[in-house]
Each structure stands twice: as structure tokens, then as C-alpha cells.
Structure 1
Amino acid sequence: MSAWWSYRPEDLLMFSSRVYERLFVLHNQALWPAQPLALALGAGLCLVLLRPTAGRLRLVALLLAAAWGFVAWAFLWQRYAPINWGIRYVVPLFALQAGLLLVLGGRRGGLALPSGSGASRGLGLGLAGYAVFLHPLTAVALGRGLAGAEVFALAPDPLAIATLGLAAMVRPARHGWALLVVPALWCLFSAATLSLLDGPAAWPPLLAVAIAVAARLMAPG
């Protein structure tokens, strides 16, 4: 038996990059034609963040809560957990994020966004726009093809990045920080996994966390 110090970090993974990519292909095939609807909902999310009202932000919180619950069940539990036993411990965190969105979005006063066009709002909108419109295209850039695209509200990374966009600029600040924790943890976990699999794909979730934290620090209280 080899000594434990002979193992590299990637040796601890229970799957290859090909198996990981195949997860998204099978997931998209099973959910088709949900992808166009998810993209439409994502576009609606971005429009609301551009022109927010209290009622619209409640709908955004409800949409994101439903998406966190759905991704936890349909992707993490049904597809990812069978090849990575540690994911079963992540599912409750996704459920916690869904509940947090429901509670904070539904309480009196709800969530609010800063007026004007400050840096925090611009960065938050940029994260949301990237998650909805650009992140699915990273599959093409990495040679996976659109069949393996990660789509907002159907896959965890774009959902977490879009939520980071909301958390980066939402008011009051304590609500923003509360909403930021779980998606940031997921993005860091995803970046660590992807860095062991194929390197370049790890940068988007990692940068999203850095941008969200910086925007949150710049956001008004």
C-alpha cells in the first residue's frame, strides 16, 4: 500500500472531469425544455434588479428560494451525491439558503436595493448578468458544448453567482451578508473541485466571491 503522503489532492476526488461534465449533460437532457424558461426567468431577475420595487424584490426572493430548493434536490441529491458522498452534507445548506430568502424577502419591509448607480450596485448587476447570460457559455469555451451548459436556476454555480449579485447590493447590510454566506461557500467549494479537475473553470466562481465581498464592503448600510 502506498504511503499517505504519496497521494495528491486530485487523488481524493471520486470522479474524473469527464464524469463531472457528463452530470450536466444528463441533467440538461432530463430537464429539457426547462432551459429557455430558466433563461427567461433569469432575464426577468436582471430586469427587476435594474428597476426594483418592493413587490418585485419579493418575487425575486421567491424565485431564488425555489431555485435553491430545486437545485438541491434535482442536481445535488439526484445526480451529484451518487458520485460524491460529501454532497449530501451540502444539501441542507441549500435548503437553509432557500429558507433565508423566503424569510428575508417576505418580512415587512423586505429587501431593498440602494438607489442610484454606485459601485456596489454595478458589481452586483454584473454578477447577476454574468450568471444568467455568460456563465452557460463557459461550457463552450472549455470544449464541452452547450449540451453541458450550466444554466441559471438549474445548476448550482450560476445560481450561487446570481445570488451573490443580489447579496452584494441588498439593504440592510446584515441581510446582504446573511444571504452571501452559503453561495460564497458553494462557489469556493466548486472552485476547489474544478481546480483539481480542469483548472481554468475554477476562476469564475472564485472571482465571483471576491467581487461580491468587495461590493458588499462598498455598499451603503
Structure 2
Amino acid sequence: MSEWWTYEPRDLLMFSPDVYYRLFELQNTDLWPAQILAVGAFLAGLVLIARRAPSAGRIVAALLAVAWAAVAFGYFHTRYASINLAAPYYCWAFATQAVLLLLSGVGFGRLGYTERRTGLQHFGVALLVFALFLQPLIGPALGHPWTGAEIAGIAPDPTVLATLGALLAADRIRWELLPIPLLWCAVTSATLITMGSPEALLMPVAGAASLVVAVCRGLQSRWDDRATM
């Protein structure tokens, strides 16, 4: 029997990297052509944000809520639960975020995109564009099959980054919508680091940058409010 100190963190995983990435292939195969609908929906939301449409806030919040619910039950409950005992907790966390988006963004209309954007808000738009069009290319660029590309609304990581981008691009920071996406950046990073995945630092770096931008925008809003008093 090997001594305990000879084990590496990856030895404690309940699955191998091959099994982990295989889930995305199975997910994409079973849901095709839902990926086209997901990208199209997010693209429509991006256009509404860019045009600063009055209805953009509620529509984007609704799209994000559907995406989080789809990942919660379509990925974590249906797929990830077969290899990770923690998957049910992730499922309910994503479902909770979907409810928060519906309540805050749709019900109370607290998400808006009507004001002129600042430089910090452009970071949010850039993050949203990255999640939609560049993040799906990372897996294939690292040698994973194209059929396993991670798509926003289908896979968790791009859904989280797209959400952070949409929240940071809004007129005001809605703090109640940030904790779960930021926590997921840490959780998925721990999994990827343990597996030795080359893209392991992407999510924590994006999450940390998002938190810094959110704090800076919050401080800026307070300063502006005091200046107008």
C-alpha cells in the first residue's frame, strides 16, 4: 500500500481529465442544435446591450436566467452528477442564480443598459464577447475535440463569464447577482488545477478582475452620488 504522502491532489479526484472533457462532447451531441440557439440568444442580448435598448435589462436577465437553469439541470443534474458527488450542490447553486436573475433583473427591473458606458463597463462587454466567441475555442486549441467546445448556456464556465460580463456592463452594479458567479470561478479553478489543465487560471483571473472592476465601479458610483448632493 502506498504511503499517503505519495499521493498528488489529482489522485483524490473521482474522475480523470478525459472523463471530465468527455462530458462536454456528450452534452453537445445530445443537445445539438441547441448550441446555435444559445449563441443566437446571447448574441441578441449583446446587440441590445450595445444599442442601450430600454428593454435590454429585462431581456438579458431572462436570457441569463434560462442559461443558468439549463446548465443547472441539463449539465450538473444530468451529466456531472454521474462523476462528481458535489454536482447536486452545484446544480442548486446555479438554479438559485437563475431565480435571483429572474427576481432582480426581470421582476424588479434592476438591470439596465440605458446610460452611456464608461471604460470599466466596456470591460464587461469585452468579457461577454470573450465568453461567447473565444472561450469555446480554448478547448480545441489545447487539443480537445471540437465536439467538446464549451458554449455559453450549455456549459458552466462560459455561462458564468458571460454573466459577469453582462453584469459589469450594466448601468449599476447589482451585488446580489455577483456572489455565485464569483464563487464558481474559484470552484472550477480548483477542479482544473487539480486535473493539471492548462486553462486552469482563466476563471480565477477573470473572476478576480471582475471583482476589482465591480468594486471600482461601486466606489465610483458613491463618489458621483456625493458629488451631486
Which TM-score tier does this pair reach, normalised by the shorter chain?
Answer: over 0.9
Q: Which moved more, 1:188-197 or 1:69-78?
A: 188-197
Q: Corresponding residue for 1:85?
A: 85
CA deviation digits over 1:137-193, x for unaligned, max 9? 0111111121010001111000000111122243443x2x22111111112111111
Aligned-partner residue type, residue 15 of structure 2:
F
Superposition map of 1:4-83 within 5 A: 4-83=4-83
Distance in 2 between the 1:47 and 1:207 partners?
Answer: 26
Q: How many equivalent residue pairs?
A: 219
Q: TM-score, structure 2 length as denominator?
A: 0.89
Distance in 2 between the 1:108 and 1:194 partners?
Answer: 36
Q: Which moved more, 1:208-217 or 1:21-30?
A: 208-217
Q: Corresponding residue for 1:100?
A: 100
Runs of 4+ in 1 over 4 A off after TM superposition: none
Distance in 2 between the 1:76 and 1:70 partners?
Answer: 9
Q: Paired residue for 1:190, among 188, 191, 210? A: 188
Q: TM-score, structure 1 length as denominator?
A: 0.92
* Greater Rg by CA: 2
Distance in 1 between the 2:112 and 2:55 partners?
Answer: 10
Distance in 2 between the 1:87 and 1:3 partners?
Answer: 29
Shift in Å, 1:114? 6.9
Q: Corresponding residue for 2:225?
A: none
Structure 2 unaligned blocks of 5 or more: 222-229
Contact 2:27 2:75 in 1 (8 A): yes
Aligned-partner residue type, residue 185 of structure 2:
C
Q: Corresponding residue for 1:214?
A: 212
TM-aligned CA distance change 1:14 to 1:108, over 3 Å: closer
Distance in 2 between the 1:185 and 1:59 partners?
Answer: 25
Structure 1 unaligned blocks of 5 or more: none
Contact 1:54 1:111 in 2 (8 A): no
Aligned-partner residue type, residue 127 of structure 1:
L
Superposition map of 1:121-200 within 5 A: 121-173=121-173, 175=174, 177-200=175-198
Q: CA RMSD in A?
A: 1.7
Distance in 2 between the 1:91 and 1:160 partners?
Answer: 13
TM-aligned CA distance change 1:110 to 1:196, over 3 Å: same
Q: Name the SS for the 1:46 alignment partner.
A: helix
